[in-house]
Structures are given as structure tokens and as C-alpha cells.
Amino acid sequence: MKKILITGSAGFIGFHLAKTMINMGYQVIGLDNLNNYYDPILKIDRLNILDEYVLENNLSGRYEFIKLDLIDKSGLSEIFNKYKFDIVINLAAQAGVRYSLKNPEAYINSNIVGFANILECCREADIEHLLFASSSSVYGMNVKQPFSAQDNTDFPVSLYAATKKANELLAHSYSHLFGFACTGLRFFTVYGPYGRPDMAYYKFTENIFNGKAIDVFNDGQMERDFTYIDDIVNGIIALIDQKPMRTSNSISNAPSSLSIYNLGNNNPITLKRFISAIENALDKKADKNYLPMQPGDVPITYADIDPLVSLSGFEPKTSIEDGIKKFVDWYLHSKKDSK
């Protein structure tokens, strides 16, 4: 039974990934600092669901949660020394493009210092494979579509994106110098049940449900490669045993065992269509407040997933209408439960 560390396990993606991997037979150690970027109650709810799932399915010994911040290097080292992980999946990060304009220090601490600590612990513990969350935000204002992992990403337009680009560069350096395998995961607008309340789809659903206006940026013409959470989880799992080989790229003679993949739906959807899917699922029309594009936002994200498809057979299966319906059903159910 392989032992897996999932950081950010109380987060949206981490929660879904942990539940799936526990069910698959992995021994999962979840780590999270439970910060208050959004209401920690949702994070606690996710953790409670994992505990209940393990108990109800007699999976004792498959899962353990530890509260820790990645900037605590000594505490992190103790965990690595105690559990002897085979695989590390680093999903812990300070998320959100717009929040990075207000609180840049949170991004430097979590996304830079925290990730450097993960790399150091992986080096010290001789970890077999590190997979880590990057973001489609690294593509910035690139005009070539779809975005390829081979594209230049030297010009991020938000601090959040810059920290994710920095993660990729740090991973390359560590892999080159110390030889361990790293895989970067560029996520494209992930959505679904138990999602983050700061995400647009959650805010839209909540405001439409409560009869409040929604802010629609760039006249609703922005396009996003919205990717349902189950497809994201399947993509991550498909890469766990796909350790990158040590090679040099076409630009540099510095060999490393680093691969970068897009995890997206390969099908960008306009914001207007996205809002329409929410309206249909709620059976309620939105009152729209049209606003210009926000600083740090990009007009389109569109994932080239061909390398991942060729390697693993990865295939996103969830349409925007089906995925939004599942999210809205969960949202409405959660509102009933909270009464």
C-alpha cells in the first residue's frame, strides 16, 4: 500500500482527491492549515466527510489528517521523517487572482516559502515522485490558443500566477540538482460540489438563488476552460505512476525529471453560457451588473491536453451543463441542511 501525502487536503481539490485515493487503497495522510481565506467551516465539513467515509466503509488506517502550515519547516520535516511517504501531492496554496492584489504576503508565504519547504523535505526524504499544483494563470495574456505546456510563460499578469510560475522553476532546479521526479499540474478553472465560495460559479449561484445581482466582467465574453472536479481527480491519479524521465528540453542543456501538464476540459465556454447553465439549474434568471475586465484577469483559458491524453488516456467527460447541475444540486442540498 503506497503512502501518499496530500497537502491542502481540506481544500476543494484535495478533499475530492483524498476521498478517491482512500477508496482506491492508498494510505493517505492529509495536511492543511485550515486558514480563513474563506469560511473554515466548509473545510471542516470536508474533513468530517472524509472521517465518516473511512468509518462507514471500514477503512481504518487508510487516512489521517494533520493540521500544519507549510511554512513550518521543522514540523513538516518531522511529518516526512515519521511517515516515509512514497508520493507527495502538493495542492496547498493561497489561491485567487484578485485576492493577490490585496494580500500579496499570503501568496509569498504559502506559495513560495511553503513550496520551497516541500521541495526541501522531498529532497531530504528521497521522495519517489512529487506532483504539485500549478495553474492556467501562468499563461497570462498569451494569444496563441490552445495553451500548450511548451508555450512561453515568462509574463504572468497577477502575483498569484507569478508564484505558480515560480513553483515550476523551483521544481526544475531541484529536479535538476537532486534528481527526483516532479510533475506540475496546470489546472484550468476547476468547479463542482464542495467548491470554493470565492469562485465565480459559487458566487453566481448564491446571488441568483438569493435574488441578488451578479457582477459580470467584460460583458460576459471571457472564456474559461471550466473543468469538473471528477475529471481533475482522474487526471491527477493518471499521473501518479507516470514518473518523468530525466531529459533536457529544447532550450536548455540542464537535464531534469520535470514534466508539466495541462489539466483542463479542452473546451472553453463563454461566461454567458456558464451563467445560463446556472440559471437553468436554479430555474431562475440572474440580475446582471456588467463591469469591465478586472486587473489580473485574462480573456480566455484553453487547455491543450494532447500530451496527457497520449500518455495516460485522460479524457474529460463532464459537460458544463451536467457539471453545473451537480454543483447546484449540492448547493441547494447544503442550504437545506444548514436550516
Percent of the residues in the chain that have a pLDDT greater than 70, as a whole number:
98
Beta sheet of 3-7, edge-to-edge order: 63-67, 27-32, 3-7, 87-90, 129-135, 181-187, 258-263
Give yes or no: 160 in active site.
Answer: yes
- Average pLDDT, stretch 146-168? 93
Examine the pLDDT at 172 and tell me if it is beyond 70: yes
pLDDT score, position 219: 84
What are the residue ranges of helices labelled H in 26-185? 40-56, 73-83, 99-102, 104-107, 114-125, 159-178
Handedness of CA 13, 15, 18, 20 (dihedral sign): negative
- pLDDT tens by residue, 11-37: 999 999 999 999 999 999 999 999 999
CB 221 within 8 A of CB 268: no
pLDDT reported for residue 52: 96
CA 254 to chain CA centroid, nearest Å: 28
Do you know the residue count of the chain? 339
Nearest to 295 by CA among 190, 156, 188, 136: 156
> Residue 110 sits in which domain range?
3-338
Residue 298 has pLDDT above 70, yes or no: yes
Q: What is the mean pLDDT of residues 186-211?
A: 96
Q: Which residues, at least 6 apart from 310, have a Cβ–Cβ distance to it below 8 Å?
A: none
Summarize pLDDT for 36-64 with one digit per residue, the tens: 999 999 999 999 999 999 999 999 899 99
- Give pLDDT tens digits for 224-260: 999 999 999 999 999 999 999 888 765 667 788 999 9
Average per-residue pLDDT for the chain: 93
Question: CA nearest 3: which of 123, 90, 83?
Answer: 83
- Residues 276 and 41: their CA atoms lie apart, in Å, by 29
CATH of the domain at 298: 3.40.50.720
Would you say residue 338 has pLDDT above 70? no
CA distance 7 to 108: 17
Select which of 160, 174, 202, 261 is catalytic. Answer: 160
Arithmetic mean of pLDDT, 168-194: 95
User: pTM here?
Assistant: 0.94
The count of domains in the chain is: 1
pLDDT at 339: 60
Q: What is the pLDDT of residue 283?
A: 97
For 229, residues 6+ apart whose C-beta sits below 8 A from its C-beta are 12, 13, 16, 190, 191, 192, 193, 195
